[in-house]
């Protein structure tokens, strides 16, 4: 039997909400690892983690941490990636970066394997993993784009707090408990930790994810707009987004309105495309109240689609509801899937 080569893999941000899911996904996929280096800030350095029966000690991430690393998975925030991903590349590693640091850089492929795996061939050491909300939307839209072309997208998101990190999940739990027990609490993290004001998330909906850009949209909304055009290679595509945070722990939902280029396609045509699409599970049977919901998608790698309807006014317009685990397909699974593609394409030395 052919011996599978093992790689020296580093996970940067290994103690975080995404990093923990990366470790879980690497295990579940039995990714070929010969050595695992786990990195965080000085705060968690020294913590012991069990991986496949062996104890791994978390170390503080530094440029030298990447000596001998083949593949580095980054999810420790944009400033860490900006500083350390080039250091890792200098030392011969290939980096899959989960932050927004390099996504719109023209020398950096922005990849969702179901959509544009071939873009990996043009990498220069760093590959960007798109924003969670972008990923699940383009997975659901790509089969439709391939068949009918895409003209316009208008999306509203219903995003889970785990997209804002482990501390935001804790904030949702603590606030919920405090409200139920009639106790006082002080919001400290959401919508954006470094912003001046913080709002209650428990029993609420906050129409702000990331900071505001001066055009009235937020950075999260602009990520969805710009990343979608780049991944699909459709610079002229019309895209608008409204991103909203909900008191859901994990699982982002999206109401997606889209217009195709060709008139005359039916809901049944769209359903048939999604039924056989890679990475998509169609859950669409309104008569039996079947549609995707975040609590049922947690822990699964797929993108779930339902509520597909034809627009009542526009013959080429459709509506659909798209749900996925934001920490898996939105982050950890898409990154590990990129790493698997890199290995498959012979791009890891």
Q: Out of 95, 123, 243, 252, which one is annotated catalytic? A: 252
CB contact at 8 A, 214 and 292? no
Catalytic (active site) residue 95: no
Stretch that binds ligand NAP, among 48-56, 160-168, 207-215, 285-293 (CB under 6 A): 160-168
Task: Decide if residue 223 touches ligand 3JM (CB under 6 A).
Answer: yes
The partner in contact with residue 43, picked from ligand 3JM, ligand NAP, none with C-beta cut-offs of 5 to 8 angstroms by kind, is ligand NAP
Task: Decide if residue 260 touches ligand NAP (CB under 6 A).
Answer: no
CB contact at 8 A, 201 and 245? yes
Stretch that binds ligand 3JM, among 58-66, 72-80, 242-250, 255-263 (CB under 6 A): 72-80
- Is 100 or 157 the residue whose CB approaches ligand 3JM more closely? 100
Task: Decide if residue 100 touches ligand 3JM (CB under 6 A).
Answer: yes
DSSP state of 287: G
307: alpha, beta or left? (left if phi > 0; alpha if psi -120 to 50): left
Task: Decide if residue 157 touches ligand NAP (CB under 6 A).
Answer: no
Helices vs strands, H then E, count in the chain: 9, 14
- Site map 284..323 versus ligand 3JM, x via CB under 6 A: ----------------------------------------
Task: Decide if residue 337 touches ligand 3JM (CB under 6 A).
Answer: no
Strand partners, 257: 154, 319
Task: Decide if residue 98 touches ligand NAP (CB under 6 A).
Answer: yes
DSSP state of 181: T
Measured distance CA(272)–CA(274) in Å, rounded:
6
For residues 35-64, which are near ligand NAP according to CB under 6 A?
40-41, 43-44, 61
Strand partners, 245: 159, 206
CA atoms within 13 A on the CB side of 334: 35
The partner in contact with residue 149, picked from ligand 3JM, ligand NAP, none with C-beta cut-offs of 5 to 8 angstroms by kind, is none
Q: Which residues of 129-152 are buried (b: 16+ CB within 10 A; e: fewer)?
A: bbbbbbbbbbbbbbbbbeebebbb
Tell me the residue length of the chain. 349
Task: Decide if residue 326 touches ligand 3JM (CB under 6 A).
Answer: no
Q: Which of 29, 32, 78, 151 binds ligand 3JM (CB under 6 A)?
A: 78
Respond yes or no on whether the N-terminal peptide bond of residue 191 is cis (omega within 30° of 0). yes
The partner in contact with residue 15, picked from ligand 3JM, ligand NAP, none with C-beta cut-offs of 5 to 8 angstroms by kind, is ligand NAP
Catalytic (active site) residue 124: no
Residue nearest to ligand NAP (CB): 16
Q: Out of 95, 132, 243, 297, which one is annotated catalytic? A: 132
- Is 92 or 207 the residue whose CB approaches ligand 3JM more closely? 207
Which of 328, 100, 126 has its CA nearest to residue 225? 100
Q: Which of 131, 136, 301, 334 binds ligand 3JM (CB under 6 A)?
A: 131
CB contact at 8 A, 65 and 80? no
Which of 258, 267, 271 has its CA nearest to residue 150? 258
Please give the order of strands across the beta sheet that includes 59-60: 59-60, 33-40, 7-12, 71-74, 94-97, 126-128
Residues 6+ positions from 103 with CB-CB distance below 8 Å: 110, 128, 130, 131, 223, 226, 227, 230
Stretch that binds ligand 3JM, among 52-60, 73-81, 143-151, 246-254 (CB under 6 A): 73-81
Binding interface with ligand NAP (CB under 6 A): 13-19, 40-41, 43-44, 61, 75-78, 80, 98-99, 129, 131-132, 163, 165-167, 330-331
Binding site for ligand 3JM (CB under 6 A): 77-79, 99-100, 131, 163, 223
């Amino acid at each position: 039997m052919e011996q599978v080569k093992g790689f020296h893999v580093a996970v940067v941000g290994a103690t975080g909400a995404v990093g923990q899911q990366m470790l879980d996904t690497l295990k579940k996929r039995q990714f070929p690892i010969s050595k695992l280096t786990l990195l965080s800030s000085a705060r968690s350095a020294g913590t012991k983690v069990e991986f496949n029966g062996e104890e791994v000690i978390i170390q503080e991430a530094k440029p030298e941490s990447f000596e001998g690393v083949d593949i580095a998975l980054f999810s420790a925030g944009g400033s860490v990636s900006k500083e350390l991903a080039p250091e890792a590349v200098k030392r011969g590693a290939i980096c899959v970066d989960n932050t927004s640091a390099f996504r719109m850089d023209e020398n950096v492929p922005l990849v969702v394997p179901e959509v544009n795996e071939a873009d990996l061939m043009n990498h220069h050491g760093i590959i960007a993993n798109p924003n969670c909300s972008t990923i699940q939307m383009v997975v659901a839209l790509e089969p439709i784009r391939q068949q009918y072309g895409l003209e316009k997208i208008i999306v509203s998101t219903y995003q889970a707090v785990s997209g804002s990190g482990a501390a935001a999940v804790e904030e949702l739990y603590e606030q919920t408990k405090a409200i139920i027990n009639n106790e006082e609490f002080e919001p400290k993290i959401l919508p954006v930790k470094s912003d001046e004001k913080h709002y209650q998330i428990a029993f609420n909906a906050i129409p702000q994810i990331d900071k505001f850009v001066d055009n009235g949209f937020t950075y999260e909304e602009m990520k969805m707009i710009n990343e979608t055009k780049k991944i699909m290679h459709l610079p002229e595509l019309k895209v608008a987004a409204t991103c909203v945070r909900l008191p859901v722990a994990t699982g982002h939902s999206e109401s997606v309105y889209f217009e195709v280029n060709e008139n005359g396609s039916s809901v049944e045509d769209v359903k048939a495309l999604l039924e056989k699409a890679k990475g998509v599970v169609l859950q669409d049977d309104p008569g039996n109240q079947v549609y995707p919901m975040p609590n049922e998608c947690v822990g699964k790698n797929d993108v779930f689609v339902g509520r597909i309807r034809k627009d009542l006014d526009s013959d080429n317009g459709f509506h659909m509801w798209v749900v996925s685990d934001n920490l898996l397909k939105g982050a950890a699974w898409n990154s590990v899937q990129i790493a698997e593609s890199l290995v498959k394409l012979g791009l890891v030395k």
